[in-house]
């Protein structure tokens, strides 16, 4: 059962189809009809909402607070239709629940940060095309970075912590997507996702 639960958790984003998203929206519309009307299909299509929810689930971010997710999308959809940008806005709105699972009992958040030069290098490797943004990092740099992150992830595991990396918002999603195949347990957060009362 534990193994099955873990498999479902790891692949939840693949299991969430348009029909399931429509079901979630229909359920929310019963209690908050205006927010749903305002968002779908006026500002975002069902597919765009699905993509944001899949992005969240891919990083093991719960979508139970569906109202906050939909309200955040309604606030930011007029400025951007890019699923990755919208995901970052939603993550900021869900910051407390995202960070809580990494906190130690004394409310400390153990994490590593990227060297400023490396973070700049990653940021400069982010390119935009008509489909959105993508990371075009030099293969050797990517390999070195993944090797370092794997070493840190091991150290975190030895101390009983989940591996967590802090980097800027514009780099966060790209770094996570780069690492997810090789380091599925690694999580990446941006500064705006860390509540003020948390010790780093």
Query: Residue 189 pLDDT more than 90?
Result: yes
Q: Which residue has the higher pLDDT, 155 or 10?
A: 155
Q: Which residue has the higher pLDDT, 156 or 11?
A: 156
Nearest by Cα to 68 from 51, 89, 84, 48: 89
CB atoms within 10 A of CB 193: 20
How does pLDDT run across 12-60, given as a tens digit for each residue?
Answer: 777 899 999 999 999 999 999 999 999 999 999 999 999 999 999 999 9
How does pLDDT run across 135-161, given as a tens digit for each residue?
Answer: 999 999 999 999 999 999 999 999 999
Q: Percent of the chain, pLDDT > 70? A: 94
Q: Does the N-terminal peptide bond of residue 67 adopt cis geometry, omega within 30 degrees of 0?
A: no
Number of continuous H segments (helices) and E segments (strands) in the chain: 11, 5
Instruction: Report the predicted TM-score, pTM, of the whole model to 2 decimal places.
Output: 0.89
């Amino acid at each position: 059962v534990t193994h099955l639960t873990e498999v479902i958790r790891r692949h939840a984003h693949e299991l969430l189809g348009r029909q399931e998203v429509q079901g979630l929206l229909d359920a929310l519309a019963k209690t908050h009809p205006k927010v749903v009307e305002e968002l779908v299909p006026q500002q975002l299509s069902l597919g765009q909402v699905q993509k944001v929810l899949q992005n969240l689930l891919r990083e093991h971010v719960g979508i139970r607070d569906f109202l906050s997710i939909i309200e955040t999308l309604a606030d930011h959809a007029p400025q951007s239709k890019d699923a990755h940008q919208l995901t970052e806005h939603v993550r900021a709105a869900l910051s407390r629940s995202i960070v809580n699972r990494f906190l130690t009992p004394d409310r400390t958040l153990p994490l590593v940060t990227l060297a400023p030069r490396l973070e700049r290098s990653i940021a400069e490797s982010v390119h935009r095309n008509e489909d959105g943004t993508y990371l075009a990092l030099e293969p050797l740099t990517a390999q070195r970075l993944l090797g370092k992150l794997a070493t840190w992830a091991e150290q975190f595991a030895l101390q009983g912590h989940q591996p967590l990396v802090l980097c800027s918002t514009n780099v966060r999603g790209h770094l996570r997507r780069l690492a997810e195949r090789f380091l599925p347990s690694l999580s990446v957060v941006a500064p705006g996702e860390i509540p003020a009362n948390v010790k780093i």
